[in-house]
A = this chain, B = another copy of it.
Amino acid sequence: MSIYSAAEPSTTAPAHRIHEAVVTVLDARGEPLAGAEVTVEQTRHAFGFGNIGFDFIGLANGEGNEADERLAELYTGVFNTATLPFYWGRFEPRRGEPDTARLQRTARWFRDRSVALKGHPLVWHTVQPDWLLGLPLDEVERLQRERIRRDVHDFDGLIDTWDAINEVVIMPVFDNGDNAITPLARAKGRIAMIRMAFEEARAANPNVKLLLNDFDLSTAYECLIEGVLEAGIPIDAIGLQTHMHQGYWGEGAVLATVDRFARYGLPLHLTETSLVSGHLMPADIVDLNDYQIPEWPSTPEGEERQADELVRHYRSLVAHPSVEAITYWGLTDADAWLCAPIGLVRADGTPKPSYEALRRLIADEWWLSPTTTIADENGRVAVSGFSGDYLVRVGDAATPITIDRTTDRIQISIPSNN
């Protein structure tokens, strides 16, 4: 008996991400297709390689141009998840007129391209609608609860993952401008705010996957998470932001942080990742939002550095067993957050070295391209690859299979006309 390995991903790939399955190919009568040519190709990563989808709302709503189309190709060439913006103040600037239809079309546009979606965020103290200001707290809470239910319900089946609540650590003490949520968080407490978000979201969609998301990765976030878990509020994944405008933290520091949050036995999502391809933001800036400059150019040296750091960042994170998703915060420098050159594509639409490096990693080194082997006398081929979805082709028949830690034997039947 011999088993042929269909393909082996790079030996640099972390072993815990790679799974092996023996696929047995049978004919319509159940007889093994000994000696058949079997071609296996990957179609999707189980790991979430995401980016923000903010730039494609226009395109998805028929307002795109050729540049948007090219950007979309770059997106789907690498990323399998997208974060869509639900900042309340922008999503519903006039009370009762949420931007639901446009975002639904955007979500469908991504879904049609096999990109899974996350909504961001349901509760936050920033980018709040002005019309909340001045209302009594119980009215603010009622409206906040209604907005969660409405939006999670309206996107049920399109968006089943949400940053339920954003930056709770700072929420009750945030003092950068008036907003209606900080006083509510101060009155209710952080954990009650989280309970509110989770309760309403689950009521609207029992299958929803809910994250806490924070930039404060200090002990405070640990204490908050422990309090939430003690309070019996189930967290589906812990969201960790890593905006590195002031320079890459390095694998050691990033993994030490990841380890601290891995202790809770929950999946970790690196929800917001950025690295600049220009000069670094000065180290003395505390709130990144306080550094706004008219022009922040991407430079050749900066682009090389960004590409190098990005690969190191992704390699180290994918190697950590608790991490199940990384979302980069911006595909293009055009309209990038804080005008920082954090994009993987320049404002003129040309890919930076970082884009190519990430594509090589995700869609090449960690990816199984169509590979043909011959089934053994029992109709078997071995498939080894990253957790994810695959297509097994025998003749004209294409059968989708999933490979993960739970599948080691898969049997597929090929219709008789093959």
Contacts and interface: CB of A to CB of B under 8 A. Distances in A.
Interface of A: 169-170, 172-173, 186, 189-192, 216, 218-224, 226-231, 260, 263
Nearest to A190: B226
A126 to B, nearest CB: 17
Contacts of A169: 219, 223
Counting chain B CB atoms within 10 Å of each CB, the highest count among A190, A222, A229, A230 belongs to A230
A226 B186 contact: no
16 contacts: A170-B219, A173-B260, A189-B226, A189-B229, A189-B230, A190-B222, A191-B227, A218-B218, A218-B219, A223-B224, A224-B226, A226-B227, A227-B230, A227-B231, A230-B231, A231-B231
Contact of A220 (B220, B228, B230, B231): B220
Contacts of A190: 222-223, 226
A74 to B, nearest CB: 39
A227 B264 CA distance: 15
Given A216-B219, A220-B218, A220-B223, A230 B191 contact: yes
A189 B226 CA distance: 7
B219 A227 contact: no
A218 B260 CA distance: 18
A214 to B, nearest CB: 11
Given A169-B223, A170-B219, A186-B263, 5 more contacts: A169-B219, A190-B222, A223-B224, A223-B227, A227-B227
Counting chain B CB atoms within 10 Å of each CB, the highest count among A173, A192, A224, A260 belongs to A224
A172 B226 CA distance: 12
Given A169-B219, A218-B218, A219-B220, A191 B226 contact: yes
Given A227-B227, A227-B231, A230-B231, A219 B173 contact: yes
A368 B77 CA distance: 81
A173 B218 CA distance: 12
Contacts of A223: 169, 190, 220-221, 223-224, 227
A191 B191 CA distance: 14
Contacts of A229: 189
Nearest to A260: B173
A198 to B, nearest CB: 13
A263 B222 CA distance: 21
